[in-house]
Structure 1
Amino acid sequence: MTGNLDTTFDPASIEAKWRQHWEAEGLYRPDRPDAEPFTIVNPPPNVTGSLHIGHALDNTLQDIVIRYERMRGKDALWVVGTDHAGIATQMVVERQMEERQDKRTNYSREDFVAKVWEWKEESGGEITNQLRRLGCSMDWSREQFTMDPHFSDAVLKVFVKLHQQGLIYRDKRLVNWDPKLKTAISDLEVETQDLKGSFWHFKYPLEDGVTLADGRDYIEVATTRPETMLADMAVAVHPDDERYASVVGKHVVLPLTGRRVPIVADEHADPELGSGAVKITPGHDFNDFDVGKRAGFAAGDMLNMLDGEANVCQVSDGLVPEEYLGLHRFKRDGENGARELVVQRLKDGGHLIPHIAKTKKGEEVEHDAEPRTIATPFGDRGGVVIEPWLTDQWYVDAETLAKAPIEAVRNGDIEIVPKSWEKTFFNWMENIQPWCVSRQLWWGHQIPAWYAEDGSVYVADTEEDAQAQAGEGIELTRDSDVLDTWFSSALWPFATLGWPDENAELFQKHYPNNLLVSGFDILFFWDARMMMMGQHLTGQNPWPRLYLHGLVRAADGAKMSKSKGNVVDPLGLVDQYGADALRFFMAAMESQGRDIKMDDNRVEGYRNFATKLWNATRFCQSNGIGASSTLEAPKATTAVNKWIIGEVTETLAALDKAMADLRFDAAANTIYHFTWDRFCDWYLELIKGSIDDETKGVAGWVLDQIFVMLHPFMPFITEELWTSQGDRAAYPLITAKWPEPGAGVDADAKREVEWLIGLTSALRTAKNELGISPGAKLDAYCEAPSPLAKEAVERNTASLERLARLSSITFSAPPAGAAMQIGVGEDTLAILLEGVVDIDAERTRLKKALETSAKEVKSLEGRLGNANFVERAKPEAVEKAKADHAHHSAEVERLEAALTRLG
């Protein structure tokens, strides 16, 4: 597979070849039975999913870590798999049925589930192929699925065990109910949208003979959901609100239903908001549910006025008037719903308090309600407004299970990186609510609970065990619900390794895992729950470190969404720039605690970086520089070779530190600058024309170190270049050893070469400032050279002439005439300008350009100092003004320096 490289770097031609080779040869998990284990698990994507930019970031970071640890000789295992994604998968299959004028309810549960499995085998899991395109070196031979038999067995055993321990129980509570999908959903599946709505004010009559201190015989309440008054059970006022102190404990009689409900004192009521009195509907509002409990209402006695499709149904006290029964909660298909009818009837009965608004002319206009922008919860898949709904569900005692993870993070057994997330973690975990784990679906892990006619519940691994508990002759019916997918995925770090068989070889060696890389948005839905389950079920934390990365945002900083049309397809970027360029962008931009702004230009820049390395390798090959045969640095006698070996040593140390600290940006930028700046731009230029055997050996070794250090970030191009440099098919880069230079930094060589680089850079800058051709050869004088300057010049005359374009450097005072001053280290050199540049014309040009930039700086400072502009202008306009200000400020400094050089 060795040979000369193509003239042009083409990512597409090499990526498919190498990912197939690595996987076919088993190189993602080489056989290392005695090696130290290193284990990570991927957040299992939905089996229905396709690769989005967040997946690309998350999995790139994981792959960098696993490739790094594999090269360090570890038994590196990256567990891969997909989640069965109950709601998402069931929706996909049902949607396909609808296209054929078919539906789920035409089938038995078993037949429908069989159809889902059929879909999964034919179409599911496309995202795993997309992860392969990204270069993810997962152990594909052991790909997992949360509905695999061994995993399903583990899930059911955990449910039974936690139930036996009293940590799983059935309860009546409020849930996020999706009336379209007719199931409870998690908070993560709720999207809040700001909608234009209304705020109505109503009179709730006080019971006979009761009045407020101001003489009113009613309490004013306000609501954005008037339809729920059909299930009101109380009115709450603040305990310190003197306006209502005399009526606390008394009652109001609700209009429409005639229900007599108490006035309760509760701090939930805000005296400063509206009238200070709030209607309490514990069966349809999460805050009201808590108020109701504090007021002494048992959950079983709370009123539920809606059915599973959000249509009005009769409540337990039978007081909902018949005309409302069957109405949808909102207006639908042109027909008024319960909301519209409730408002109309209250208005008819004189219970509506109109909202008085003023026109622009100052005239008062009466409206039924006050317009409001209301944060409204929607189901992310069903697409309808979520209803807080009172229903019987299965719950996990999360408060008890949270205690061990809280302690683990507090005492440092689990490190959260960045540490700033700890406060959020503690705040949520210390105020955690019961975890609803049942879903009203057919696809998923069916809950192992059976019911007798008398309401008794029997939880067991199998129906036979449940029947044995119930006794002969007791007819049992299995719970039709399935478990929340977050419940099963909470077992991912250990159930994928053979648990609950604690003697399983993989579990013994690879649990606990070493690290979890996750988006911060699933800290509580997945990460914290793995901590809970890991600690409780295995007695060990699932991993000692949790790394939380940010979101990938659009170029303007906005959150990506399909509705905004700003979603970026990572595979499109791979097609355009190559997987290596996208991966490097992700790493270089991943700064702890910050989101990433998408920038195609940066991705293109890293494609150019890959091309730079490709061309550098071609240069080496054309000069007889091939593969190295040693881990240790070759012996070097010249300053430039000693210097570059020292640069490798320093780069390696910085890279290792960055990886240890999980500073992906620092790691990427470290290898980037060494490769581009030190090796390509300087070392290869310095050795041109003097490539002897020693230099060939050093250059080949350094290039190999670059391939190895860069491989975790850019695996495809580095493997291709590594292979092209020599015949080492039995020693592919993916399993090569991490660098061990065995060399230090030669301080003298470093000072000498950096003096040469400093002089060349300063001279090139000065030429550019003064409009002198880069190729113009100049003469320099150094009146009082340092010992370093003398040695550097004497030993590098050819390099100075070729790189700095200096015909000579004379160690004496310069002759009279125009000259520019160049500083390098402690030395000052005078560069003669007579005959090189028209001094007067150049001074005039520079002054004119300086005046223009200075004027722009002053103008932009005025604009940016104007609060009206900064606050009211479009963000992109403000950003452009800041960028322009920075540019012209830099120009002022550059032009002033150029004028100073002219004298």
Structure 2
Amino acid sequence: ELSERPIKALETGELGFIPERWTKIYLDWMENVRDWCISRQLWWGHQIPAYYCDDCKEMIVATEKPDKCPKCGSSNLTQETDVLDTWFSSGLWPFSTMGWPDLESPDFKKFYPTSVLVTGFDIIFFWVARMVVMGYEFTDKSPFKTVYIHGLIRDEKGQKMSKSKGNTIDPVEIIDRYGSDALRFTLTSLVTYGGQDIKVSDERFEYGRNFANKIWNASKFVLMNLEGVDDSEIDMSALTIADRWILHKYNEAVLEVNKNLESYRFGETAQLLYEFFWNSYCDWYVEIAKTQLNKPDTKSNTQRVLRYVLERTLRLLHPVMPHITEEIWQLIPGKIYKNNAQENELQKLPAKQSSASAFFTPALQSIMLTDFPKHDMGLKDEIAESKLNTAIETIKSLRNIRQAFNIPVSATIQAKIYSEDATAQETFEVVRSYIEIFARVERLSVKLGIPAEIPSQSATTMMGTSLIVVPLAGLIDLDKEIQRQTKKLETLAQEKKGLDSRLSSPKFLESAPKEVVELTKERIKEIEQQTQSIQELLKSLAK
């Protein structure tokens, strides 16, 4: 009887598990009900309401202590010393804390039932099932609509943490060493939607600490460059391609973050925000903004864009990293993008409180009172995204050439880009200045059509359907480079000889795992491709 409605709740949608596969454990317990020994010999808990007559040994169960034994009339009664099982007590938690059994209690009417329970899979049948049973039995409702199941935190070897093993991690020590936001961000980023267990070691929290440091340092730079910024909104008619690009990337991040949060994909949310802030905002837009801040015609609007994206990104990060985001948010100048946080909260208060100006002082203005960002179609700009992405990929390709040929970072280079179509050529022309500045190109030449023959003594790379050519004469010692590449060829040839020998051995093919054989074949193909590339390069360098 007790399990009928808890089972039906899954069919009616009154209750659901995320991920759904954990429903099976819940149903296994509900559909195979067994007797439950509810007594425990503990020092604390709900004392069992059973009483024994000291004279006739009669047992009486009652909600209130009886005055006398109903069998013999004796008043010598002793209450049972055992207490109810822990899960019996905790099963009452959702409503016993809300004024129950008074179903008209203000807290009960406002907060019960709750929306989401977050817990581990190991106590689905201990705790979750019992809460649902008791919720329906005593309140006629499921205590929550959604049960979000996460994995267990284990040590770096995958073992369950326990004091007896000595493999526990003290969160207070982690906070002292790395910071509370680092702890929160690291653990959030490790959460998987499937509820897999999480392996944790002290060193893993360096990831969160490094990100917190990046947020602080990048914000410090932005705040230093917001000196003299006006309190106006972004002038959307005066945006550069980079401005349009970062606003689009931010807007897409907002869309994905909201989708992830709605579907309980918390780990993906943390990783997405990390990627956006570190790579898109810091590595690219902030660097581009440095050049725009030096120009009188772009400085003011660049400041506004820097401020807007920083402030809104702090809002996105706030649920995961509340302390550092609040601290930085308080330092951002101006009110235009702070969304009137104080006034928003005042409007939600009852009239008798909102009329009291002292209730919310300026000091209580907080990032947590602002609206969470929402996707804005007005910021969507796939054209700007495509064009600046082209610039970024070109810059990366040119930097890779520098690294491959040990071209000094301080040296300027010349580059030629050959495009197969006019649209690509036009894009390169539009983003020419970004490529020249950030790839340190002295003169960028963009031409239509791919040449039949690669220019001699040049490094080349393909980017999509476009060919990038960098003349090497005067930048490096060509003779030394030929020697270096020739040595690479010899090393690759020696490695290939050893791998070929393995594959020609029947014993290896019979005893080696299939995966190892496949990896060997793949490595041989890689060596052949590398060899061909180096041979073509040597032909070019020797001309």
Provide the TM-score with structure 1 as the length reference: 0.50
Give yes or no for the alignment of 1:778 onto 2:413: yes
Paired residues of 1:584 and 1:668 also in contact (CA < 8 A): yes
1:800–1:632 distance in 2 versus 1, CA, 3 Å: closer
The answer to whether the 8 Å contact 2:258/2:374 transfers is: no
Cα shift at 1:590: 0.8
Residue 834 of structure 1: aligned partner: 473
- Could you say which residue in structure 2 is the equivalent of 1:809? 444
Cα distance between partner residues in 1 of 2:500 and 2:153? 36
Measured in 2, the distance between the counterparts of 1:682 and 1:504 equals 55
Does structure 2 retain, via aligned residues, the 8 Å contact 1:766–1:898? no
Which runs of structure 2 are paired with 1:509-548 in the superposition (5 Å)?
Answer: 509-548=110-149
Residue 463 of structure 1 is matched in structure 2 by 65
Query: Are positions 1:821 and 2:455 aligned together?
Result: no
In the alignment, the residues of structure 1 paired with residue 87 and residue 209 of structure 2 have an alpha-carbon distance, to the nearest angstrom, of 38
The answer to whether the 8 Å contact 2:388/2:431 transfers is: no
Counterpart position of 2:343: none
Task: State the partner residue of 1:738.
Answer: 372
Distance 2:528 2:292 in 1: 38
Larger Rg: 1
Do 2:419 and 2:425's aligned partners in 1 also have CA atoms closer than 8 Å? no
Write the deviation string for residues 783-840 of structure 1: whole angstroms up to 9, x where unpaired. 3364444444434443212212222221345984222333334322222222334241
SS at match of 1:689: helix
Paired letter, 2:371: K
CA contact (8 A) 1:560 1:567 kept: yes
Correspondence for 1:718: 325
Determine the C-alpha separation between the residues in 2 that align with 1:499 and 1:897. 78
Structure 1 equivalent of residue 183 of structure 2? 582
Question: Would you say 1:637 and 2:271 are equivalent positions?
Answer: no
Match of 1:846 among 471, 484, 488: 488
- Out of 259, 267, 285, the residue aligned to residue 683 of structure 1 is 285
Counting only pairs closer than 5 Å after superposition, residues 851-866 of structure 1 correspond to structure 2 as 851=493
1:498–1:859 CA distance, 2 compared to 1 (3 A): farther
Contact 2:92 2:135 in 1 (8 A): yes
Instruction: Give the SS at the match of 2:292.
Output: coil
CA 1:888–1:472: 2 relative to 1, 3 Å: same
Contact 2:40 2:82 in 1 (8 A): yes
Cα distance in structure 1, aligned partners of 2:155 and 2:470: 49
Q: Deviations over 1:309-345 (max 9, x none)?
A: xxxxxxxxxxxxxxxxxxxxxxxxxxxxxxxxxxxxx
Q: Contact 2:419 / 2:465 at 8 angstroms: preserved in 1?
A: no
Q: CA deviation at 1:772?
A: 3.1
Q: CA deviation at 1:405?
A: 1.7
Query: What is the deviation of 1:857?
Result: 7.6
The answer to whether the Cα contact below 8 Å between 1:627 and 1:725 also exists between their aligned partners in 2 is: no
Task: Give how far 1:408 is off.
Answer: 1.6
Provide the rounded CA distance (Å) in 1 between the counterparts of 2:239 and 2:6: 56
Matched letter for residue 536 of structure 1: E
CA shift digits 1:405-460 (9 cap, x unpaired): 22223443211111221222222322231111111334322111222344543222
Contact 2:458 2:472 in 1 (8 A): yes
CA offsets 1:85-131 (integer angstroms, 9 cap, x no match): xxxxxxxxxxxxxxxxxxxxxxxxxxxxxxxxxxxxxxxxxxxxxxx
**SS at structure 1 position matched to 2:319:** coil
Counterpart of 1:667 in 2: which secondary structure? helix
1:669, CA displacement in angstroms? 0.7
Distance 2:264 2:228 in 1: 33
- Say if 1:849 and 1:895, in contact at 8 Å, map to a contact too: no
Greater RCO structure (CA 8 Å; 6+ sep) = 1
Q: Distance in 1 between matches of 2:443 and 2:392?
A: 17
Answering whether residue 78 of structure 2 is matched by residue 477 of structure 1, we say yes
Aligned counterparts of 1:744 and 1:585: Cα–Cα separation in 2: 30
What is the alpha-carbon distance in structure 2 between the residues aligned to residue 782 and residue 749 of structure 1? 20
For residue 107 of structure 2, the aligned residue among 499, 502, 506 is: 506
Q: Secondary structure of 1:847's partner?
A: helix
Tell me the number of residue pairs that the alignment of Structure 1 and Structure 2 aligns: 491
In the aligned structure 2, how far is the partner of 1:458 from the partner of 1:754?
79
Partner AA of 1:811 in structure 2: V
CA distance in 2, matches of 1:469, 1:860: 90
Instruction: Identify unmatched segments of 5+ residues in structure 2.
Output: 294-298, 336-362
RMSD of aligned Cα (Å): 3.6
Q: Which amino acid letter does the alignment assign opposite residue 693 of structure 1?
A: S
Cα distance in 2 for residues equivalent to 1:456 and 1:416: 46
Q: Which residue of 2 aligns with 1:150?
A: none
Deviations 1:143-188 (A, max 9, x none): xxxxxxxxxxxxxxxxxxxxxxxxxxxxxxxxxxxxxxxxxxxxxx
Q: Distance in 2 between matches of 1:858 and 1:559?
A: 45
Q: Using a 3 Å threshold, how does the CA distance of structure 1 residues 471 and 642 change in structure 2: closer, same or farther? A: farther
Q: Is 1:651 aligned to 2:244, yes or no? A: no
User: 2:195: which partner in 1?
Assistant: 593
SS at structure 1 position matched to 2:259:
helix
Classify the secondary structure of the residue corresponding to 2:20.
Answer: coil
**Deviation by residue 1:585-620 (Cα, 9 ceiling, x = unmatched):** 111111123111114443212211111121111221
Take 1:565 and 1:868, find their aligned partners in 2: how far apart are those partners?
41
Q: 1-side partners of 2:61 and 2:230: how far apart?
A: 64
Pick the aligned partner of 1:709 from 316, 327, 345: 316
1:355-396: CA deviations, max 9, x gaps?
Answer: xxxxxxxxxxxxxxxxxxxxxxxxxxxxxxxxxxxxxxxxxx
Distance 1:531 1:622 in 2: 54
Deviation at 1:473, TM superposition (A): 4.1
The separation in 2 between residues aligned to 1:835 and 1:733, in whole angstroms, is 55
The one-letter amino acid paired with 2:242 is: V
**Distance in 1 separating the partners of 2:331 and 2:498:** 52
Distance 1:900 1:687, change over 3 A: farther
Q: Greater share of helix residues, 1 or 2?
A: 2
The whole-number CA distance in structure 1 between the counterparts of 2:528 and 2:485 is 15
1:836 maps to a residue whose letter is L
Preserved contact between residue 780 and residue 810 of structure 1 (Cα < 8 Å): yes
- SS of 1:463's equivalent? coil
Residue 569 of structure 1 deviates from its aligned partner by 2.2
1:432 aligned counterpart, secondary structure: coil
Residue 669 (structure 1) aligned with residue 280 (structure 2): no
Question: Is residue 700 of structure 1 aligned with residue 307 of structure 2?
Answer: yes
AA aligned to 2:301 is E
The verdict on how the C-alpha distance between 1:891 and 1:614 changes in structure 2, with shifts beyond 3 A counting, is: farther
Question: Which residue matches 2:348?
Answer: none
2:6 and 2:77 mapped to 1: Cα distance? 38
- Percent of aligned pairs with the same amino acid: 34
* CA distance 1:511–1:571, change in 2 (3 Å): same
2:162 equivalent in structure 1: 561
Cα distance per residue 1:518-559 (max 9 Å; x no partner):
011111111111111111111111111111111122222233
Letter in 1 for 2:250: V
Question: How has the CA–CA distance of structure 1 residues 854 and 745 changed in structure 2, closer, same or farther, with 3 Å as cutoff?
Answer: farther
Q: In the TM superposition, what is the alpha-carbon distance from 1:630 to its structure 2 partner?
A: 8.4
SS of equivalent to 1:489: helix
AA matched with 1:823: M
| Structure 1 unmatched ranges of 5 or more | 1-399, 871-877
Correspondence for 2:402:
767
User: 1:652–1:457: structure 2 CA closer, same or farther, 3 Å change rule?
Assistant: same
Give yes or no for contact 1:414–1:545 (8 Å, CA) kept in 2.
Answer: yes
Find the residue that maps to 1:783 and give its secondary structure.
strand
Partner SS for 2:468 = strand
Quote the residue 1:134 is aligned against.
none
Deviation at 1:696, TM superposition (A): 0.8
Residue 493 of structure 1 and its aligned partner are, at CA, apart by: 1.1
